[in-house]
Amino acid sequence: MTEGMFGVAGSGDTSGFGGLVREAWSAPTAERPLGGYFDEVVDALEAACPVFEQAVSKIVVDRDELTLEVEREHFLALITTLRDDPSLRFELLSSVSGVDYLHTEKRLHSVYHLMSMTYRRRIRLEVAVTVEDPHLPSVTPLYPTADWQEREAFDMFGIVYDGHPSLTRILMPDDWDGHPQRKDYPLGGIPVQYKGATIPPPDERRAYK
């Protein structure tokens, strides 16, 4: 791509990211052996989860971290197995976050970081949805730590977590229009709804020398 960070082009970029270029990148599918405890975890999950083959669309090992890309329809069954199976025991959900891969079909990704305190292991799950159908099942009934984290991902990215006990905005005002961390959300010139002011576009704020 020839555009700078956040799609800025030309010399008006005063956001602090001038000169950076975003290159298209996708982590390659990992091949066995995965290394470390990763093979043991994947083998145990495959044996314990009846829908493993349909649920896991891709296994990625990058920077010594294991990520499973999971299909939405089988996500709840897979993450429940990770929590409950004695050979896995991923008891802690430490983080739920969102990512927007603009210009892809399923651009909104919900990312889950799980930790097994029993076996001292970590795994990441990633589930992708479209902007037109951004629904995922809430994991708050399984992991209470997901409560406010799912609310933040909903607020910032517009991912809807079905079954959440109170899916309301947590950072922006209740009547805010849009989701500020989506890549097509404008950088500036946005009316500040709760103060009646405006945020000037980046090239009108200040210049970097």
Identity of the amino acid at 159? I
Q: What is the pTM of this model?
A: 0.81
**Whole-angstrom Cα distance, residue 128 to residue 111?**
9
Lowest mean pLDDT among 9-13, 66-70, 82-86, 117-121: 9-13
**Whole-angstrom Cα distance, residue 109 to residue 89?**
24
Cβ atoms of 115 and 122 closer than 8 Å: yes
Q: Does pLDDT of 1 surpass 60?
A: no
- In the chain the domains, ranked by start, together with CATH numbers, are 5-204 (3.30.460.80)
**Whole-angstrom Cα distance, residue 11 to residue 181?**
23
**Whole-angstrom Cα distance, residue 117 to residue 103?**
38
